[in-house]
A and B are shown apart, each in its own frame.
Chain A
Amino acid sequence: MSLEEKVLEIMRETFGVKDVTTEASQKNCEQWDSLRHLALASELEEAFDLELEPEEIAEMTDFSRVVAMLKSKI
């Protein structure tokens, strides 16, 4: 599974919605609220075995930024 696919799967799981796409962002996805944003960060840390700083978590406002952040840390 590619990193992108894995991220999508974690997002679907965390937000509890099926149709999360690569276009998803905090603006267009209702379930992606601030609390679930942190839940997402926590799940990503576990899945990719890395630590995200609060400032980095704050920057991950849409799918592509999430992916870019992860790639920069791996």
Chain B
Amino acid sequence: MTFVFRNQTVEPFLGYDGVTYSGYDDISVVPEDVDRYIWFYQVPVNADSVQLAQEIDSYCDKLDIVLAAANKHKPFIIFSLVNLFPLRLSGDETALDEAIGAFNRHAQQLSRQHTQVKWVDFSEFTLRYDADALINWKYYLMSQTLLNPKLVHKFQEWWQRIERELSLNRKKCLVLDLDNTLWGGVLGEDGIDGIQLGGEYPGRAFSYWQRSLLELSRNGLILAICSKNNEADVLEAWEKNPAMVLKREHFSAIRINWRDKATNMRELADELNIGLDSMVFVDDSPSERELVKQLLPEVEVPDFPLKPYELMPFFKSLVEKYFRIYTITNEDRSKAEQYRANAQRNAEQARFVDLESYLYSLDIQLDIKPADEHNLPRIAQMTQKTNQFNLTTRRYAEADVQQRLDAGWRIYCVSASDRFGDNGITGTIFLEPLDDTTVNIDTLLLSCRILGKGIEEAFVKTVFNLLRLDGYRKITADYIPTAKNGQTADFYDRMGMTSVGTGDDGTRHYEMALNDVFEIKNYYNIRVL
């Protein structure tokens, strides 16, 4: 059940099924037994802007009171305040704008301080419409529904998208073309200094676009290149064109050649160790887009703007549709760097004759930690995003993870680092005690960027040893096949577990007695924290 705090009628917008509403501006009841909370206040209609500003000021305190009383383990979504009926009587009435700004800053602050709090920018919806279309005075005066009921369907469309984004459905990688996409013109024809980048329009538009993309990569998005060009020309342009914002080092992987783009996309996915369904392909050529759409339906292929001046709204739509998340974890921020370090690691790997001496040289450090309030968002995020090394592919929101912890489950996560860099938290295991001596592995997953180093095995064996020390004597587990997780099909066999049957849906059941201590290769430095 969703519980909504509101000061106007919002039922037509947020619906009736499974939703309970507070009284109008009534914070006296804060139920604990809910699935999530929504705070959806609107700026009331009041010609006295000073009085109105005071009322808005009080919302900050009310929000604090509600948040303090709310169940900390359930999502709390705060809509930003938007003045739907700005009255300017004297022209210098700043008090109201300040109060609205202060509330929105406060709400954003709360979303940074508390993992369960998410801030939703309501203006993103309202800015699409003219002021006249936002309010229908007839319905407002009949029912206190300030937002025009005619916008119900548009609102629900928008809100569904936001809800999807709230559940961490984000793409990981943006693959870009070069000519007429990252700059204007064709490098092979116009030359390094002839392409349109920087200076006056249209070059200026491409500069803004590149700077925006750079910012996105700083927030954890992986950038890659897929372009038909001579690689040497491009490398030279990256080095020598002074207006270039995005250069070689900003791209985690590149395919600059004359082969078909579908093949290149598949290779990029392999090299970056991500699924094609995590990629967005941006190219100015309709035929290239069509090819990728046809051959790789998992890849998102948005239309590219026809005019350079449309690049900024295009950038905004990319962010809104594919790349925004509501809790940016530190893991996200440094992820693009990690992918680049991995590319370096792969080069290193080629120089060692055998894998073991390579692994030894890496100086791998594994930290295994029980779930806590700091790593819980990341753990939930991993269950949402990990597809390949994921034995059961069960998706959990933060609240679901908390609920399982409360029910006595043991949940561990593993952080991995080596001499090339810190990969952060990259794996998790959910253990459900079935009785005093038996435990079931509900979820086991590792981010694919750390695979190939035996970390999954070291992690699982360490956890098994911990369980044995705690008196557990039997482990059960399932492998649920999906389109993506074929590489883990025999993982439990390799761990020495016994297959005890296969379900109708292909799920394989395993069990194993915990008698002996598992030996773990000595090239991992393992700490249990």
Chain A interface (Cβ within 8 Å of chain B)?
16, 31, 34-36, 38-39, 42, 45-46, 54, 57
Contact = CB atoms under 8 A, between A and B. Distances in A.
Interface in B9-24: 9, 11-12, 16-17
A16 B17 contact: yes
Given A42-B149, A42-B150, A57-B142, A35 B17 contact: no
Interface of B: 9, 11-12, 16-17, 136, 138-139, 141-143, 145, 149-150, 152
A4 B150 CA distance: 22
B143 A34 contact: yes
A71 B12 CA distance: 26
A39 B149 contact: yes
A17 B110 CA distance: 39
Contacts of B139: 38, 42
Given A34-B143, A35-B9, A42-B139, A16 B150 contact: no
Contacts of A35: 9, 11-12, 143
Give the residue among B142, B145, B150 with the most A Cβ atoms within 10 A.
B142
A47 to B, nearest CB: 11
B16 A38 contact: no
Contacts, number: 31
Nearest to A35: B11
B12 A39 contact: yes
Contact of B138 (A16, A34, A36, A54): A54
Given A16-B16, A16-B17, A34-B143, A39 B152 contact: yes
Contacts of A16: 16-17
Give the residue among A38, A45, A46 with the most B Cβ atoms within 10 A.
A38
Contacts of B142: 38, 54, 57
A46 B152 CA distance: 12
Contacts of A34: 143
Given A38-B143, A42-B152, A46-B150, 15 more contacts: A16-B16, A31-B16, A35-B9, A35-B11, A35-B12, A36-B12, A38-B139, A38-B142, A38-B145, A38-B149, A39-B149, A39-B152, A42-B12, A42-B149, A54-B138
A31 B141 CA distance: 22
A35 B9 CA distance: 9
Contacts of A38: 12, 139, 142-143, 145, 149
A39 B12 CA distance: 7
A54 B136 CA distance: 12
B453 to A, nearest CB: 53
Contacts of A31: 16
Contacts of A45: 150
7 contacts: A16-B16, A16-B17, A35-B143, A42-B139, A42-B149, A54-B138, A57-B142
Contacts of B12: 35-36, 38-39, 42
Nearest to A57: B142
Give the residue among A16, A31, A34, A39 with the most B Cβ atoms within 10 A.
A39
Pairs A-B, 10 closest by C-beta atoms: A42-B149, A39-B12, A38-B143, A35-B11, A54-B142, A38-B139, A42-B150, A38-B142, A39-B149, A46-B150
A34 B9 CA distance: 12
Contacts of A39: 12, 149, 152
A54 B16 CA distance: 23
Contacts of B136: 42
Nearest to B144: A35
Contacts of A57: 142
Contacts of B145: 38
Contacts of B150: 42, 45-46
Nearest to B143: A38
A31 B138 CA distance: 22
B443 to A, nearest CB: 35
